[in-house]
Amino acid sequence: MQNFRKKVRSLVETIPAVKIAACMLSVAMAAVIFWGFTLTGNTDTTVQELTVAESIRAAGDTLTASADPTKFTGVSKKAVLSNIFLSASGQSPIMNEAENKMVPEEVSEESQTEEEEQPLEQNNEEPSSQRKFLGSTKEFLEIEKETVTKEEVIAHSVEERETSLLKPGKKKVIQAGADGKKMVTYEQKFVNGQLESEKIVSEEMTQQPVTEIVLVGVNGKSAAVSPLDFGVELNEQGIPVSYSQVLTNQVATGYHVGDGAWGASGQSLSAGYVAVHPGEIPYGTKMYITSPDNSFVYGFAIAADTGLSLLGDQIDVDLYYDTYLESCLNGRRNVNIYIL
């Protein structure tokens, strides 16, 4: 035992005092470093419990409002913990490419606008009033719908009829036109108080329009008053190519007795049906009536009513017209009657 003490004493005497002090300082620094790791939570268990978001906040960074910590794919935990330790020890964190990725990518205004408008696109029927977010301008669109009913005018049409009652080129209104009326219901769409569009929901006629009828004077067989056609061919002079008898220079007058009138034969009267002396021309006889110079053409006709009388060798033929004014324009004319 005494020998051991002597050896130690001799060893201590050989070691300089400076070396002893350096060893003690090293032991003290090791203890301080171990104690620092313990305070900062630098253990395996603690590292596993830290989330990415918590690590970023612990490093002094701030998460943006649009970042989602559960979807963050930035820097690794190891790099974050390294910066935490450097910050705790008073040193500046290391800036590198990995750290630059720690800040989540901001959500673009375009994608934000799509997310705001997505619920509106899924709803096919828009409410009467709603708001749409405009991402870039940071404003909202106020959308409203209204239903309104308006009275609108229906413009009357104009019908022109060719006739030989007038000289060529002359015109005469025989029926005045009148506009109609209707109630129209619209659905209107307003954006920020301004009318953007409207569509018709329903229409209801309240007053029928009246067509304006205008006579236009022309010459020839195309100007025939009667709409009847027996399929008999006409030659270039406007005369039937086949007929059984012709009565020349006969007197023809015009008459009109109103809509729904019936002749003595029991036939309803309209343009193309004429009144004759049944003793000379029986009811139902088909005829073609025109002036000797073919300037006036009544056209194909059927005997359906009784005329006034026989005037010597002349037969008084009454030509029926659909309007009173046309019957007045006829006046008294000389015609040829072709019995078919």
Query: In this predicted model, what pLDDT tens digit does every residue of 157-166 receive, in sequence order?
Result: 999 988 888 8
Most trustworthy range by pLDDT among 18-27, 138-147, 197-206: 197-206
Instruction: Give 77's pLDDT tier (boundaries 50, 70, 90).
Output: low
Nearest in space to 196 (alpha carbons), one of 132, 127, 146, 152 = 146
2 found inside a domain: no
My answer on whether 56 and 160 are in the same domain is: no
What's the token pair of residue 222?
Answer: 């195309």
Give the model's pLDDT for residue 113: 45
Beta carbons of 163 and 324 less than 8 angstroms apart = no
The CA-based angle 269-275-279, given to 5 degrees, is 135
Contacts 24+ apart (CB under 8 A), 137-142: 141/191, 141/192, 142/190, 142/191, 142/192, 142/193
On the question of pLDDT at 339 being above 90, the answer is yes
Q: Name the domain count of the chain.
A: 3
My answer on whether 49 and 124 are in the same domain is: no
218 found inside a domain: no
Instruction: Give 100's pLDDT tier (boundaries 50, 70, 90).
Output: very low
My answer on whether 318 and 283 are in the same domain is: yes
On the question of pLDDT at 181 being above 70, the answer is yes
From 164, 193, 213, give the residue that closes a domain: 213
* Tokens 């709603």 belong to residue: 130
CA–CA dist 101, 92 (Å, integer) = 18
On the question of pLDDT at 26 being above 90, the answer is no
Centroid of chain to Cα 263:
55
State the Cα torsion 241-243-246-250 to the nearest 10°.
Answer: -90
From 66, 100, 134, give the residue that closes a domain: 100
Average pLDDT over residues 110-116: 47
- Please, what is the average pLDDT of the chain? 74
Q: Which domain does 128 fall in, by range?
A: 112-213
5 found inside a domain: no
Phi, psi dihedrals of residue 26, rounded to the nearest 5°: -65, -45
My answer on whether 311 and 245 are in the same domain is: yes
CA–CA dist 237, 243 (Å, integer) = 15
On the question of pLDDT at 322 being above 80, the answer is yes
Beta carbons of 93 and 86 less than 8 angstroms apart = yes
From 40, 67, 100, give the residue that closes a domain: 100
291 found inside a domain: yes
My answer on whether 95 and 186 are in the same domain is: no
Phi, psi dihedrals of residue 8, rounded to the nearest 5°: -65, -45
Q: What are the residues facing 302 on neighbouring strands?
A: 273, 286
Instruction: Give 103's pLDDT tier (boundaries 50, 70, 90).
Output: very low
Q: Assign residue 154 the CATH number of its domain.
A: 2.20.230.10
Average pLDDT over residues 252-279: 85
Give the model's pLDDT for residue 163: 87
My answer on whether 333 and 231 are in the same domain is: yes
Q: Assign residue 313 the CATH number of its domain.
A: 2.40.40.10
106 found inside a domain: no
Give the model's pLDDT for residue 111: 46
Give the helix, strand, coil percentages of the chain, each rounded to 5. Answer: 25, 35, 40
Give per-residue pLDDT as tens, 209-260. Answer: 999 999 898 876 667 889 999 989 988 888 899 999 999 888 899 988 877 7
Most trustworthy range by pLDDT among 32-46, 54-68, 95-109, 283-297: 283-297
My answer on whether 41 and 148 are in the same domain is: no
State the Cα torsion 121-123-128-130 to the nearest 10°.
Answer: -50
Average pLDDT over residues 253-280: 85
Strands 139-154 and 180-191: antiparallel
